[in-house]
Structure 1
Amino acid sequence: MTLPGYGGGDGSMAALRYWLKRWGYQAEPWLLGRNLPADRISQMEHMHEFQSLMLDRIQQRVDTLYENSGNRPVSLVGWSLGGIYANAMAQREPEKIRRVISLGTPYGDPRGTAAWAFLKRLHRSTTPDHEQNTDQWISLNAGPREVPTSVIYSPVDGIVSPSIARLEGENIENIPVKSSHLGFAWNPSVLATVASILARPN
């Protein structure tokens, strides 16, 4: 199942699913509309609430795919914020998730992304950066994991720096590629890397 980035919908990852299907994979959209909150996000607490809501909805979609496949675990491919969801879902339901693949995901302090200032202006946030509580965001991605996790990141991402796009620990691998942040779901080298990871036996 593909999980789009902030503001994106299933169409943003259609090319990735197209090629995965051509290569023999059952590539499923998340069917949850745009990855966008209904209200303004002026503080990190609002983002945490939005993430919690989305994770509950993703849980229902994962449950459906898991049951329809005869209780076969689901692989999750998440782009940017979608990778945060995928990682959290794997820690919540490890028996239902086969593998996590993230693309340009800001696992570290989101204030280290070029998108931070843009989103602050977009949502008209007046909360100073030093008063933003990012602990929950970071802790959501920390800790041991049972599910194999492949972190695909780019040194030339342009939005998410490599310093916050990598994870460390058991069952984690970090794979560098050359791609812009907006090009992850179309970049041929990224598509080939995702396909090769999915082909691995568990």
Structure 2
Amino acid sequence: MAQAYAMTDNPEEAEPQRPSLLDSLGELRFPFEASLFWLGALSYPWPRVERANSKTVMLIPGFMAGDVTLAPMANFCRWLGHRAVFAGIWSNSQCPRESVEHLSSRLARTADRWDSPIVVIGHSLGGIYARELAHRNPQLVERVITLGSPIRWPRDSSNHAVAAVARSMARIRGKAERCLSEACSCGLRMSETSPKDVPTTVVYSRTDGVVHWQSCVDNSDAPTIENVEVLGSHVGMAFSADVYRVIAARLALPLRPRLRLAVSNPDPGH
């Protein structure tokens, strides 16, 4: 069962850690987690909404993943009565700066089309980008939900296989010491940016086998941030019943009046 609470650990005192070998091997259980979702979904009272209360959701996939990996989540959001759009990403492995520029344009077009702020859900690296979108465009984002997103120490907290892939991608681009590293001024430094003006739900699992769970927790103590623990694997968050319950509950919340006014009546001076 999902648990929501504020974390009190001091991020300055913590040291980056990588997932244990047991947790990394545990990532192989994600097909089982997907099966459990369908078994539990039949009896759970999902909060479906009427068309007048529907929200628009933009889904951003994780590192090296594409929109297709979040297709089940998109279908779930639509089944609840909401609109779901994809990020337009085939493989989330491009330059972070270029990716965020692409996502910012897509966010603006989507918000303009539906005349409403957008709920942005990001899995892993996609959650880092979701937070950056909210930081840059708070008037366009209703809520951010991150799923296993390493908002601190993105490379140093990931398992060795993921870290090796990131280094390989950087070398291929001739940017081994910068691109896709914490030293990148246009890239993963954005992981430290907190969208303090936008409600943010941070979902993490202590058995995450791709990134260490402590790197996924927001310790800022900002009143708009909530940390929610679920049980499951990193990859399985795209199919997890616990995660889907968190998403459904947040989507069922009323649209914030301040953002509705900000989108419907934009200030021409900004």
Which bracket does the TM-score occupy, shorter chain normalised? 0.7 to 0.9
SS of residue paired to 2:197:
coil
Q: Which has the higher contact order (CA 8 A, sep 6+)?
A: 2
Q: CA RMSD in A?
A: 2.3
How high is the TM-score relative to the length of structure 1? 0.84
Q: Is the 8 A contact 1:6 1:81 kept in 2?
A: yes
1:193 pairs with one of 246, 249, 260:
246
Largest Rg, 1 or 2: 2
1:154-169 aligned at under 5 Å gives the runs 154-167=205-218, 168-169=220-221
Q: Is the 8 A contact 1:107 1:138 kept in 2?
A: no
Instruction: State the one-letter code of the partner of 1:61.
Output: R
Q: Is the 8 A contact 1:6 1:80 kept in 2?
A: yes
User: Which residue of 1 is the match for residue 183 of structure 2?
Assistant: 133
Instruction: State the one-letter code of the partner of 2:241.
Output: P
Task: Give me the whole-angstrom Cα distance separating, in 1, the residues matched to 2:194 and 2:148.
Answer: 20
Question: Alpha-carbon deviation of 1:93?
Answer: 0.3
User: Which residue of 1 is the match for residue 33 of structure 2?
Assistant: none
CA 1:194 to 1:107, structure 2 compared with 1: closer, same or farther past 3 Å? same
2:133 pairs with one of 73, 81, 89:
89
User: Which residue of 2 is the match for residue 47 of structure 1?
Assistant: none
2:101 equivalent to 1:56: yes
Number of residues paired by the alignment?
A: 187
User: Which residue of 2 is the match for residue 23 of structure 1?
Assistant: 80
Question: Alpha-carbon deviation of 1:138?
Answer: 4.3
2:90 equivalent to 1:6: no
1:172 pairs with one of 212, 218, 225:
225
Question: Alpha-carbon deviation of 1:36?
Answer: 2.0
The list of structure 1 runs, each at least 4 consecutive aligned residues, that deviate by more than 6 angstroms after superposition, is none
Question: Alpha-carbon deviation of 1:189?
Answer: 1.3
Task: Give me the whole-angstrom Cα distance separating, in 2, the residues matched to 1:138 and 1:67.
Answer: 29
Deviations 1:20-76 (A, max 9, x none): 111111111112332122xxxxxxxxxxxx111111101111111111112x10110
SS of residue paired to 1:77:
strand
User: Which residue of 2 is the match for residue 46 of structure 1?
Assistant: none
CA 1:149 to 1:188, structure 2 compared with 1: closer, same or farther past 3 Å? same
Q: Which runs of 5+ in 2 are unaligned?
A: 1-57, 257-270
Q: Is the 8 A contact 2:135 2:193 kept in 1?
A: no
Question: Alpha-carbon deviation of 1:121?
Answer: 5.1
SS of residue paired to 2:119:
strand
Report sequence identity in percent.
Answer: 29
Instruction: State the one-letter code of the partner of 2:129.
Output: Y
Deviations 1:144-177 (A, max 9, x none): 6100000000000111112110112311100000
2:118 equivalent to 1:74: yes
SS of residue paired to 1:67:
helix
CA 1:57 to 1:132, structure 2 compared with 1: closer, same or farther past 3 Å? closer
